[in-house]
Amino acid sequence: MIAALIVLLTVLSYAIAWVLAVPILVPFLNTAVSFPFMIDALRQGRIRVAIARMLVWAATLGVCAMLLSYARPQETGELFLHGAAYRVEMFTWVMTGQGAESRPSQFIPLHARDTAIFAGLAIGTAGALAMPMGAALMNYMGHYVGTLALHSARPALTMVLGWHPWSVIRIVSFVAIGTILALPLLARLLSFPVDWREPRRLLLWAGGGLIADVILKSLLAPFWQRLLLHTVGW
């Protein structure tokens, strides 16, 4: 029931964002509809439930951003922060194999930077600014996948393959990290106890996911680029 409500409210957040047409507001609107459900689960000590709820939210963000971009690419390119620039970057990579996606020396520092900023925001704001950052990332990734599918000879398959496996692992890891690192400040502000044994274990798993992300991306990116190029039919 809660999962369905999160999906519904997240979809509604895009409808409101579409009407307002203010790019900086989009990730905050996306976050506002889901954040209370995360807090509710954390207050009850249900860490895994909180993470699961935010994973439902992240999946809904990805699907909505992708489908909107498939249907209205020009508008979403303007509405989603960094959407147009990321699309150009990734289209170049798909067409030529050139770009940060296939170069560990380039993408590892970028991943480290994003992780540090995201973790810092999660700790310092109880997730209130980390989750909008995550929403912005999901929106421009969804924009890339949706517009790639629009130009593809096999749009449905492209919508699946466009979510690179390492990216999916990174998304799951970020959701877990953002949820867990929101706990210290939330517990202090709302005065609820925390048993740190489970959060620590889950945080280790999330850290392992970020390592797996780098390894898989380093190994699979060239193959995945050729797979996407064949699928799209360029």
User: What pLDDT does 118 receive?
Assistant: 97
Question: Cα separations (Å) of 88 from 76, 92, 119, 147?
Answer: 14, 6, 28, 10
User: What pLDDT does 18 receive?
Assistant: 97
Which residues touch 186 (CB under 8 Å, ≥6 apart)? 39, 42, 43, 126, 127, 192
Are 117 and 40 in contact, with CB atoms under 8 Å apart?
A: no
User: What pLDDT does 83 receive?
Assistant: 96
pLDDT in tens, 103-131: 999 999 999 999 999 999 999 999 999 99
pLDDT in tens, 193-216: 999 999 999 999 999 999 999 999
| Residue in the structure block whose two tokens are 């600014």 | 129
120 sits in which H/E element: helix 104-125
Which residues of the chain are under the pLDDT cut of 50?
Answer: none
The identity of residue 164, as a single letter, is H
d(CA 103, CA 27): 29
Which residues touch 96 (CB under 8 Å, ≥6 apart)? none
Domain boundary assignment for the chain: 2-232
Which residues touch 211 (CB under 8 Å, ≥6 apart)? none
Q: What is the dihedral of CA 6, 211, 218, 132, to 10 degrees?
A: 30
Structure tokens at 63: 């699907």
